[in-house]
Homo-oligomer: A and B are copies of this chain.
Amino acid sequence: MLDTATGLQLKQSLELIDLKLKKLLTVLILRSNKTITLVCAVRTHGQIGVPTTYGLRFAIWASEIGRHIERLNEIKARVAVGQMTGAVGTQASLGTKGIEVQESMMSILGLSHVDVSNQVISRDRYAEYFMFLANVATTLDKIGIEIRTLQRTEIGEVEEAFGKHQVGSSTMPHKRNPIKSEQVCGLARVIRATVEPALLNNTLWDERDLTNSSCERVIFPEASILTDHILLVMINVLEGLCIREDRIRENLNFLHGINMAESVMIELTKKGMDRQEAHEIVRISSMEALAGKCALAEVLGNHQKVRELLTPVEIGELLNPDNYIGTAVRQVERVIEKLGPLTQVK
């Protein structure tokens, strides 16, 4: 019966998490929509590369949260479960109608019922709950890491909202620390750490032992409350997030345009230049732009062979990051269309 009580708690917990996931999804879709054409630099291996959009960045997170909502729906019936099988599973003291009594009882409680069980409900079910929370927490960890990265002084593209009562350092009043995102990352470690104990709790001896009990008293509230908490923190962070378009543009041009150089090479080839030659010209011009800290567009514009095939305006267009984002806008629109309905929280 104790496990049935746990089933009721888990049902409620999943409802609360579901609500927060949908709220987070709502914020991400709003953000994604607002920045659908906000072009920014990609970073792979920490190195600035070709352009993408903030809209796509938010949509990727929205999509991941969408999957978590999907997962939650699937595990609900396995996790929020009760039993009425007597002391050891045989229903020996429940008379001949035990099976029916159990089914109708659990239906009244709004829980699934076990098909069979011994004294306790098998912990593969609860392990699934903890693993779900750990997966959610790790997504938030990743978002937290990205916000902390984008808020680095040298990058400076986003900023956590600065609370009314928060004060910067007295001598460095400008300083904005991403402390909420840091908190999320730290607590995600704790949530993930409950997975292994939760799995081990499934290795009970015989028809049951009590090793799960002391352990679950710690990990159930801990993982549940902390996941709820960091979801809330992350909703706040993303709602309040200040996006600095000036710095985004600066970073996009940090490499003087060479991250868009490929398009020039392709166009030169289209216009008849030998592929090998086009590649070499662009490569050398890129090195020159970097070394001289001047725009690649300018270097290319001064190159005799390039000038024969492309006008300065054409070069400008080819190196314009805004023309370099493929189907990003349409992809994001489709994500919003697909996941939007999930956000209609009553």
Give which listed residue, B60, B152, B211, contacts A43 with CB less than 8 A. Answer: B152
Bound Cα distance A283, B172 (Å): 7
Give which listed residue, B51, B68, B93, B177, contacts A90 with CB less than 8 A. Answer: B51
8 Å CB contacts to B: which residues of A137-184? Answer: 138-139, 141-142, 145-146, 148-149, 151-155, 170-179, 182-183
Bound Cα distance A96, B98 (Å): 62
A213 within 8 A of B: yes
8 Å CB contacts to B: which residues of A42-87? Answer: 42-53, 56-57, 59-60, 63-64, 67-68, 70-71, 74, 78, 86-87
Let me know if A173 and B87 touch, CB within 8 A: no
A25 within 8 A of B: no
Q: A197-B190, A255-B153, A325-B90 are in contact. Are A182 and B45 (CB under 8 A)?
A: yes
Give which listed residue, B47, B141, B153, B328, contacts A153 with CB less than 8 A. Answer: B47
**Chain B residues within 8 Å of A196, by CB:** 189, 192-193, 195-196
Q: A52-B207, A192-B199 are in contact. Are A46 and B152 (CB under 8 A)?
A: yes
Bound Cα distance A24, B64 (Å): 33
Give which listed residue, B57, B173, B209, B213, contacts A286 with CB less than 8 A. Answer: B173
**Chain B residues within 8 Å of A172, by CB:** 49, 258-259, 261, 286
8 Å CB contacts to B: which residues of A230-276? Answer: 251, 254-255, 258-259, 261-262, 265
Quick one: CB contact mask for A327-346 with B, threshold 8 Å, 1 for yes?
A: 11011101100100000000
Let me know if A174 and B326 touch, CB within 8 A: no
Let me know if A214 and B47 touch, CB within 8 A: no
**Chain B residues within 8 Å of A142, by CB:** 202-204
Chain B CB within 10 Å — which of A68, A173, A258, A326 has the most? A326
Let me know if A210 and B182 touch, CB within 8 A: yes
Give which listed residue, B122, B124, B326, contacts A94 with CB less than 8 A. Answer: B326
Let me know if B134 and A45 touch, CB within 8 A: no
**Chain B residues within 8 Å of A185, by CB:** 211
- Which of the 9-residue segments A12-20, A113-121, A301-309 touches chain B? A113-121
- Closest chain-B Cβ to A175's Cβ sits at a distance in Å of 5
- Closest chain-B Cβ to A283's Cβ sits at a distance in Å of 5
Q: Told that A45-B148, A94-B326 touch, could you supply 13 new A-B pairs with CB distance under 8 A? A: A43-B205, A45-B177, A46-B205, A47-B175, A49-B172, A50-B87, A98-B327, A116-B332, A153-B255, A173-B283, A177-B210, A192-B199, A196-B196
5 A-B contact pairs sorted by A residue (CB < 8 Å): A42-B207, A47-B175, A154-B154, A174-B290, A193-B197
Sort A-B residue pairs by CB-CB distance and give the 7 closest, nearest first. A45-B177, A92-B326, A43-B206, A186-B214, A189-B197, A90-B326, A186-B215
